[in-house]
Amino acid sequence: MMAAIAENTSKAGARRRLIKLDKTQMMLMLFLTLVGIFMILPLFYIFNHALKPYSELFLYPPRIFVQQPTLTNFSEFFSLLKDSTIPASRYLFNSIVVAGLGTVSVVIVSALAAYPLSKHPFPGSKLLFSAIVISLMFVPEALQIPRYIVVAQLGIMDTYVGHILPHVAAPVSVFLVKQFMDQVPNDLIEAAKIDGAREFTVFMRIVIPVVMPSIATSSILTFQDIWNDTSTSTLFMQNDAMKTFPYYLSTLTNNLANSVARQGAVAAASLILFLPTLIIFLTFQRKVIATMAHSGIK
């Protein structure tokens, strides 16, 4: 962006301007790197912790960086997997299905709902939007029992639908995508309609490409939420074979008398659990930055 501005200034000042801006950019990057290192510590910690031998896992005060990296934690974790009554691959499979299908459905359903909320003055639109924003304000504890009753009444206990459907009601996602759709000029939509495009075509061809950054952001958020969620497993799944990977990990240490055993396996498992969120974040955030660099709303 800076380069673009610099190019557009008069030729005489162009060279000096470019150099000057690069200098501020350098200073800025130095500053952001210093603060950023402190912010990114948790990520270093997750990776290093998984490689620590037992002698380092319980050091006090704890160290972030590992001194003598080892893979024993992983072998401990995998040997634990062999012992479990239900194969751990089943939990992993459940998690992938639930998080994958869940994220896709949340994103599609939210985008579909955001479009009329942003662009159609249908009767009740303001009321509905207020209801969505207000629903963000309610703390989840008070909703647990009514939600449990709804899920039980629907007969979706112990099914994948029971994992996914409660997440599909995603007010944050709808709100986010709707706000980005507000920036799409109405003229653009009207022009397409005059050319004979139907609502769905307008939605797919014009609105969605412009709000892609918000869809990518909402995917990151939703995946992170569903992937780490243990509440649907705890509340709605009675059959152990239907529970998810993070739930299984939380059981690894729960029933033990001391807090030392299996900590190595837990450290390794935390890294394994974290990797997919990291990959999803990098993939989709890259998309946000890339689409911005090329287009933008005209």
Q: Which of residues 210-249 bind other proteins (CB under 8 A)?
A: 213-214, 217, 220-221, 224, 228
84 binds other proteins (CB under 8 A): no
Under 8 Å CB-to-CB from 147, ≥6 apart: which residues? 166, 235
Q: Which is nearer to other proteins, 38 or 258 (CB)?
A: 38
Residue-wise DSSP of 109-138: HHHHHHHHHHH---TTHHHHHHHHHHHTTS
Nearest-angstrom CA–CA distance, 115 and 129: 12
Restricting to residues 275-294, which ones interact with other proteins according to CB under 8 A? 277-278, 281-282, 285-286, 288-289, 292-293
Site size with other proteins, rule: CB under 8 A: 99
Select from 14, 19, 71, 112 the one that contacts other proteins (CB under 8 A).
Answer: 112
Could you tell me if 255 and 170 are in contact, meaning their C-beta atoms sit under 8 angstroms apart? no
Restricting to residues 177-196, which ones interact with other proteins according to CB under 8 A? 179-180, 182-183
Could you tell me if 18 and 6 are in contact, meaning their C-beta atoms sit under 8 angstroms apart? yes
DSSP designation for 67: S
Select from 143, 191, 241, 279 the one that contacts other proteins (CB under 8 A).
Answer: 143
135 binds other proteins (CB under 8 A): yes
139 binds other proteins (CB under 8 A): yes
Q: Which stretch binds other proteins (CB under 8 A): 23-31, 67-75, 77-85, 251-259?
A: 23-31
Could you tell me if 213 and 292 are in contact, meaning their C-beta atoms sit under 8 angstroms apart? yes
Both structure tokens of 8: 């557009």
CB of 239: closest distance to other proteins in angstroms? 21
Q: Which stretch binds other proteins (CB under 8 A): 50-58, 78-86, 104-112, 233-241?
A: 104-112
Could you tell me if 165 and 226 are in contact, meaning their C-beta atoms sit under 8 angstroms apart? no
Q: Which stretch binds other proteins (CB under 8 A): 92-100, 143-151, 188-196, 254-262?
A: 143-151
Q: Which stretch binds other proteins (CB under 8 A): 75-83, 94-102, 133-141, 251-259?
A: 133-141
Under 8 Å CB-to-CB from 163, ≥6 apart: which residues? 94, 98, 102, 232, 233, 236, 237, 242, 244
Q: Which is nearer to other proteins, 35 or 85 (CB)?
A: 35
As a whole number of Å, the CA-based R_g of the chain is 24
